[in-house]
Chains A and B, each alone.
Chain A
Amino acid sequence: MDADRSLVEEAAGGSREAFDELVRRYQGQIVNLARAMTNSDDQADDLAQEAFVRAWRSIGSFRSDATFRTWLYGVALNVIRTHRTRRSRWLRLFSSDTRDTSSEGSPIDRGTADDGIERPLAMRQLIDRALAALPVELSEAVVLRDVEGLEYQEIAAALGVPIGTVESRIFRGRKRLRSLLRPVKGWISR
């Protein structure tokens, strides 16, 4: 049973109050998803807003064979995917150096990661940088599973791919992350 059903039905009928409540309910998850996939607070905020605007526009087409949460993740992933594709095209076009420099000078680079307060933030920044460096189809599968905690079935529904494809993408994504996350290897015990 979808816990959001009544709100979604009201929103599909044109109730902005119901949709505003859905925004408040899911804003944290969608912003977190966008942050993990872009490694940028500003872009995460903008993309999450855009995802909700698109969800409002197309909520009439929502079918209850999936949960609202799964559907909303699908909408947000489309927005993020388009953004990442445009961004990488832009970088290729106007720069010979395609490294993402948005997180340069982060606490981890400044060597302050030993600080007990900054370590979680530095670790998040490094993880998000590694996730943003993955091909988008790998990063979205890994983020949905290991960051957002969706079930494999939900991920398959959100991405519109078979569950075997989800498992394969998660396996390959984590395999590539292993070397990218080497700097934080000792931060949690194996």
Chain B
Amino acid sequence: MDCKDVEHLIARDADAAGLTADERARLDAHLTSCAGCRAALDDQRHVARLLHARVDTPVRPGFAQRVAARLDRQDEPAESILDLANWRAWTAGLAPVAAALVVLAWLGVGAARTPSTTTPAPQVTFEDVTAPSNTPAAVFLQPSASGDALLEGVLTGTLPSAGDPNNVR
């Protein structure tokens, strides 16, 4: 029998966990001819006894009360700004709102797909937006817009025209 095959028996025998008659016979037969496993059993027993001799850790006074206080806080609804960190608590309350928004969005999509009988809105093209104009946005959209001219126009109130040929860097 291989040493590996009796390791589990050595572990249980070391702490008096009890072996069956068959297991006892197998282990004893192996130990008779294996000094290494006899030493291993001795070491296992020694470590087990050391650990059994370890004194227990005393519980700090008020432990049960501290657990109870934590459970009380957990059972309470969110009360302070710090409770916002507990996202599970407040997102759960928003579930009905989220459901209503989904329904509204679904209805909105349905309405958008329905053919409209109203007058269509006029189409706006890129040229409409970039046509010569004195509004800051239109001037800004011109590729020839000079930063200095724009700044001067804004400061003096005399914004250059978008079509102004002088407005070239």
CA distance A15 to B58 in the complex (A): 27
Chain B's interface size range is: 35 or more
In the complex, are the beta carbons of A127 and B59 less than 8 A apart?
no
In the complex, are the beta carbons of B43 and A178 less than 8 A apart?
yes
In the complex, are the beta carbons of A146 and B52 less than 8 A apart?
yes
Q: A90 in the interface, Cβ–Cβ < 8 Å?
A: no
In the complex, are the beta carbons of B7 and A49 less than 8 A apart?
no
In the complex, are the beta carbons of B8 and A167 less than 8 A apart?
yes
Q: A84 in the interface, Cβ–Cβ < 8 Å?
A: no
Partner of A123, one of B15, B43, B54, B56: B54
Nearest residue (CB) in B for A28 is B59
Nearest residue (CB) in B for A51 is B67
* Chain A residue contacts of B46, Cβ below 8 A: 178, 185, 190
The answer to whether A124 and B55 touch (CB under 8 A), given A20-B68, A167-B8, A171-B8, is yes
Nearest chain A CB to B73 CB, angstrom units:
10
In the complex, are the beta carbons of B8 and A53 less than 8 A apart?
no
CA distance A87 to B33 in the complex (A): 45
Name the residue in A52, A142, A174 with the highest tally of chain B Cβ atoms < 10 Å from its Cβ. Answer: A174
In the complex, are the beta carbons of A147 and B50 less than 8 A apart?
no
Nearest residue (CB) in B for A149 is B52
CA distance A70 to B63 in the complex (A): 21
In the complex, are the beta carbons of B12 and A175 less than 8 A apart?
no
Query: What 0/1 readout, one digit per residue, does chain B (142-164) give for beta carbons within 8 Å of chain A?
Result: 00000000000000000000000
Partner of A44, one of B57, B66, B67: B57
* Residues of A140-190 whose CB lies within 8 A of B: 142, 145-147, 151-152, 164, 167-168, 170-171, 174-175, 177-178, 181, 184-185, 187-188, 190
CA distance A45 to B64 in the complex (A): 11
Name the residue in A23, A146, A164 with the highest tally of chain B Cβ atoms < 10 Å from its Cβ. Answer: A146
* Chain A residue contacts of B42, Cβ below 8 A: 190
CA distance A53 to B66 in the complex (A): 10
In the complex, are the beta carbons of A184 and B50 less than 8 A apart?
yes
* Chain B residue contacts of A127, Cβ below 8 A: 50-51, 54
9 CB contacts below 8 A, A to B, read A27-B59, A48-B63, A53-B71, A53-B74, A152-B12, A167-B7, A167-B11, A171-B44, A174-B11
Identify 16 new A-B residue pairs, CB closer than 8 A, beyond the known A44-B57, A120-B55, A146-B15. Answer: A20-B68, A24-B64, A27-B67, A53-B74, A124-B57, A147-B54, A168-B7, A171-B8, A171-B11, A174-B11, A174-B43, A175-B44, A181-B47, A185-B46, A187-B53, A190-B45
